[in-house]
Amino acid sequence: MSAKLWGGRFQSGLDPDAAKFSISLDFDKVLYPYDIKLNIAHSRALQKVGVLSAEEYALLHEGLTQLRIDMDADLDGLLENDEDIHSAIERILTERLGDLGKKMHAGKSRNDQIITDVRMLLKDEIVEIRGAIRDLIRSLVTSAESHIEWLFPGLTHFQPGQPVLLSHHLMAYVDQLMRDDLRFEAVYQETDVCPLGSGAMAGNTYGLDRDMVAAELGFSRITTNSMDGVSDRDFMLSFCSAAAICSTHLSRLAEEMVLWSSPLVGFVKIGDAFTTGSSIMPQKKNPDIAELIRGKTGRVTGNLVNLLQLIKALPLTYNRDLQEDKPALFDTIDTVKTSLRCFAKMIPTLTFQRDAIDRALQTGYITATELADYLVRKGVPFREAHEITGKIVLHAETHGVQLTEIGLNELQNFHSDISEDIYKVLSVADSIEAKNGVGGTATIQVQSQIKRVQEIFGW
C-alpha cells in the first residue's frame, strides 16, 4: 500500500482486508482530470497568499499539467495500490517534484476536494445528458413529422380508447422529455456551487480567495457554510431523482416498442441494429435494446434509493459512508446517458406498419365516445348519452358489425335524434380532426406542438 496521507498518529497499518475494503481508487479514478484542475487552481490560491512562491507555483502547474497528459495516455499504468485518486496524484507529484508535491495540500482536505471534483464532473455530465435528451427529442419530432396524418388507436388500460394521430402519440413523449430537460437544467444550477476552501469541515486559516478558485474551476458561486459544504449531497439526490424520472419515461416508451413490435400487434418493425436473434428459435427478432432500457430503469431507481438510505442517518459533517455515494452516482450517469443515446438512434430505424394499425382501428368500437358526445350536442344529458351509446355498442358486438355498419333506422331505435350526420361523427379521421382544442390530436394542433418544440430548440 502506498504511503497514506494520514498515517502520522498511527503505530501500525490497516489490516489487509480492511485496507482493501476501504480503497476507492477503482471508481474514483475517473475524477483525475478534475482533481488535477482543482490542484492547479488551489496551488494558485496558495501562491496568492504566500504559502507557495511564484517559482513553486510554476513548477506545480507544470508538473500537474504534464501529469494530466500522462494520465490521459496511460492512467492505469501510473496508478499503484493508492487509497484514492487524490492520494495517487499527490504521490506521483511528490515522486517527480520532491517535497514540493507535499506542499500542495495545505488549506484543503479530501473532504472538500472530493465533493468539488464530483460537482465538476457532474456539471459536464449533465451537459452531455441534456444533449442526449435533445437528440432523442429531435428523433421523435422527426418521426412525428414523417407520420403527421397517420391515424392510430389511442389506448387506456391497453384497450381501444379513442383514435389519435400517431404523431400526437409520439409528441406525448416529447413533452415528457422536455420536462426531463428542465429538471436536469435545475440540477445543473444546484450543482454549480464550489465547496473548495471549506477544508475538512470548519473552513481554512490561509485566507484563500475562494471566489477566484471557484471562477477558475468554472463555478458561478461558492458554498456559504463549510460544514454543509463538505457534507451536502442534495445535488446528487436531485440528479438521481431527475435521472429516475427520465428513465421511467424511457421505460414507458421502451415498453410500447416491445409491445408494438411483437408480431401479435405488428404496429412497428425495429431496425436490425437494435434487435437481436434467438439462440434456438431462428424466426425470432427480439427488441432487446428496448427491453434493456426498460430493465435498467430499476437500476437507476435503485441508485436513488441507495443514496437516500446512505444519507438519511448521517450526522454532520463528513462520514466515510459518503465514499459509497460515487458508485451509485456514476452508474446512474452512465446508464441514463447510454439509454438516451441508444433510443435516439433507435427511433429513426422504426418502420410503422399501416395495415396493422388500420386493422387495430377497426377493433374495440374506438369512436364510441364520439357517439356519446354527439348525443350530448343533441341535448341528451351525458350520463344518458353514455348509457345509450353502451347499448348501441352491445348491439354492434352482438351482431358482429362496426358502429358505422349499423343502419340509420336501427340507430334511431336507440334515440330518435340520431340523423345521417352520425356517420361523419363515427369516422376515425373526422373524430380526430374534431379534437381541435389546444393540446388536442387534430392535425393542426399536432403541427403546432411540433413547431413549438422546434422554435424552443432553434431547429
What residues does 269 pair with on adjacent strands?
351
Give the list of residues 6+ apart from residue 422 with CB closer than 8 angstroms, or none: 371, 374, 408, 411
Phi and psi dihedrals of 195, rounded to 5?
-90, -5
Where does residue 96 rank: exposed (0-12), middle (13-18), buried (19+ CB within 10 A)? middle
Up-side HSE of residue 147: CA atoms within 13 Å toward CB?
25
**Quick one: how many helices (H) and strands (E) in the chain?**
20, 6
What residues does 194 pair with on adjacent strands?
222
24, 170, 262, 279, 416 from 218: Cα distances, Å: 26, 37, 49, 51, 73
Up-side HSE of residue 339: CA atoms within 13 Å toward CB?
28
- Stretch (H or E) spanning 355: helix 354-361
- Stretch (H or E) spanning 232: none
Reading the block at residue 364, the C-alpha cell is 374495440
- Cα of 446 vs its chain's centroid, Å: 25
Contact 151, 195 (CB under 8 A): no
Q: How many CB atoms lie under 10 A from the CB of residue 21?
A: 9
Phi and psi dihedrals of 264, rounded to 5?
-70, -25
Set 157, 220, 241, 431: catalytic member: 157
Give 452-457 contacts, CB < 8 A, sequence gap 24+.
Answer: 453/137, 453/141, 453/171, 453/174, 453/178, 454/141, 456/178, 457/134, 457/137, 457/138
Strand, coil or helix: what is 186? Answer: helix
Contact 192, 222 (CB under 8 A): no
278 labelled catalytic: yes
Contact 112, 45 (CB under 8 A): no
5, 6, 90, 221, 226 from 49: Cα distances, Å: 24, 25, 21, 21, 20
**Alpha-carbon torsion 162, 166, 168, 170, what sign?**
positive
Q: How far apart are CA 152 and CA 148, in angstroms?
A: 11
Set 22, 53, 262, 278: catalytic member: 278
Contact 194, 223 (CB under 8 A): yes
- Cα of 89 vs its chain's centroid, Å: 32
386 labelled catalytic: no
Active site residues: 157, 278
